[in-house]
Amino acid sequence: MIQKVKVDLGERSYNILVGENLLSGNDISGLKNIVKDRKCHIISDDNVAPLYLNSVKILLKPAGAITSESILPAGEQNKTLESIAGFYSDMVKAGLDRKSLIVALGGGVPGDMAGFAAATYMRGIKFIQIPTSLLAMVDSSVGGKTGVDLPEGKNLIGAFLQPEMVIIDTTMLKTLPERELRCGLAEIVKYGVIIDDKLFSRLEKNIDKLNSMDLNFYASIIAECCKVKARIVSQDEKESGIRAVLNYGHTFGHAVETVSDYNVGHGEGVSIGMCMAADMAVSLKLMEPEAAQRQEDLLLALKLPTRISGYDPEKIIAAMSRDKKSENGTPVFIVPRRIGMVSIEKNIRREDIIQAIRGRCD
């Protein structure tokens, strides 16, 4: 069964299709209308391309696409303007014009870059997302944020561009390394805590299905998460308000990732960061300790880290003040109030932040 989630953004609205085996076989409704005999440039990485590039070409062909591709070495270190420059020249060589289409095939790294290339090539062309990592399926492929990193920091250059369609084939999760899968699960737990207590309870009750890769269950959870993100993005496309709740766990998490020199993965950082934020909420009497414990128990059941060892808490605090999400040097915190609700807080005292960080550092 294919589930369809609509992201409602007026003229920029689009559908997210979620299901098993979407790439092989099924005639994806609406795809032909988007592709319409255009030149399609597929952007992917060298882990994903050998596995799925051919299937994507086969999918696009009946819609009349003439395909070309840029394949970059996998990894965040290649999410640079230099890689984008390489894509532009591949696209010029392949004869892409303003009517052409970019297809993002991969995790968040190729996804963010393909989107940025689409936002800027010839002042902007259309693109489709085919996310292949769990994180990309529930988060980065939906919402229209695109971009690249600078040596000075992650995601400092970017543009907003909504895709024409997002195609999520959960079968692709079978080849995703387990650690990457767990990182995606951290973002799924995040959606439950920020806005959806029913989703959170469903996760608690179905740990076995999550840990045993029940793809049918994944399809339904991914669709739920896309609905949550779609709802938030429809209310606040350019992050002037409510969209900030998606950063729950990320202010602490980014700092942890940075200080570990990225040995701690993004989702792992988010998992630890959500625990720090919850500890802070409990000590400020903004959340009951039982709710914080439920969050920690779920993260542990999904084999995610909730503490870090071997790093100086002071360095984490320093890294946090450099985060681009801080306003005038004071970090903005998304603070959990109960499972399914958070608030945005700007005036948290430094002592309380330090205490929350220290409490999770061994």
Ligand X SMILES: NC(=O)c1ccc[n+]([C@@H]2O[C@H](COP(=O)([O-])OP(=O)(O)OC[C@H]3O[C@@H](n4cnc5c(N)ncnc54)[C@H](O)[C@@H]3O)[C@@H](O)[C@H]2O)c1
Active site residue 123: yes
76 binds ligand X (CB under 6 A): yes
Whole-number CA gyration radius for the chain: 20
CB of 354 to ligand X, least distance (A): 26
31 binds ligand X (CB under 6 A): no
x/- contact string, 214-253, with ligand X (CB under 6 A)?
----------------------------------------
Q: Counting beta carbons within 10 angstroms of the beta carbon of residue 118, is it exposed (0 to 12), middle (13 to 18) or buried (19 or more)?
A: buried
Give the C-alpha separation, 189 to 172, whole Å: 21
Which residue among the candidates 79, 126, 182, 266 is catalytic per the annotation?
A: 266
Q: Counting beta carbons within 10 angstroms of the beta carbon of residue 306, is it exposed (0 to 12), middle (13 to 18) or buried (19 or more)?
A: middle
Active site residue 285: no
Give the C-alpha separation, 131 to 186, whole Å: 17
Out of 22, 117, 168, 172, the residue judged to bind ligand X by CB under 6 A: 172
Which residue among the candidates 154, 190, 227, 254 is catalytic per the annotation?
A: 254
For residue 169, give the amino acid letter: D
Structural contact between residues 361 and 309, judged by C-beta atoms closer than 8 angstroms: yes
Written as six digits, the tokens of 139 are: 């988060």
Q: Which is nearer to ligand X, 59 or 281 (CB)?
A: 59
x/- contact string, 182-221, with ligand X (CB under 6 A)?
-x--------------------------------------
CB of 114 to ligand X, least distance (A): 11
Give the C-alpha separation, 306 to 276, whole Å: 9
108 binds ligand X (CB under 6 A): yes
296 binds ligand X (CB under 6 A): no
Written as six digits, the tokens of 342 are: 């958070």
Out of 107, 269, 313, 340, the residue judged to bind ligand X by CB under 6 A: 107
Q: Which is nearer to ligand X, 108 or 336 (CB)?
A: 108
Give the C-alpha separation, 107 to 103, whole Å: 12
Which one of the spans 96-104, 134-142, 291-299, 326-334 is the region binding ligand X (CB under 6 A)? Answer: 134-142
273 binds ligand X (CB under 6 A): no
Residue by residue, DSSP assigns 296-331 as HHHHHHTT----B-SS-HHHHHHHHHT-TT-BTTBP
> First and final CA of the chain: distance in angstroms?
46
Which residue among the candidates 154, 190, 243, 294 is catalytic per the annotation?
A: 243
CB of 297 to ligand X, least distance (A): 24
Out of 38, 39, 41, 145, the residue judged to bind ligand X by CB under 6 A: 145
Q: Give, as ranges, the residues between 33 and 52 that touch ligand X (CB under 6 A).
A: 45, 47-48, 51
135 binds ligand X (CB under 6 A): yes
Angle, alpha carbons 215-305-293 (nearest 5°) = 90
Structural contact between residues 245 and 192, judged by C-beta atoms closer than 8 angstroms: no
What are the residues binding ligand X (CB under 6 A)?
Answer: 45, 47-48, 51, 74-76, 79, 106-110, 112, 132-133, 135-136, 139-140, 143, 145, 154-155, 172, 175-176, 180, 183, 266
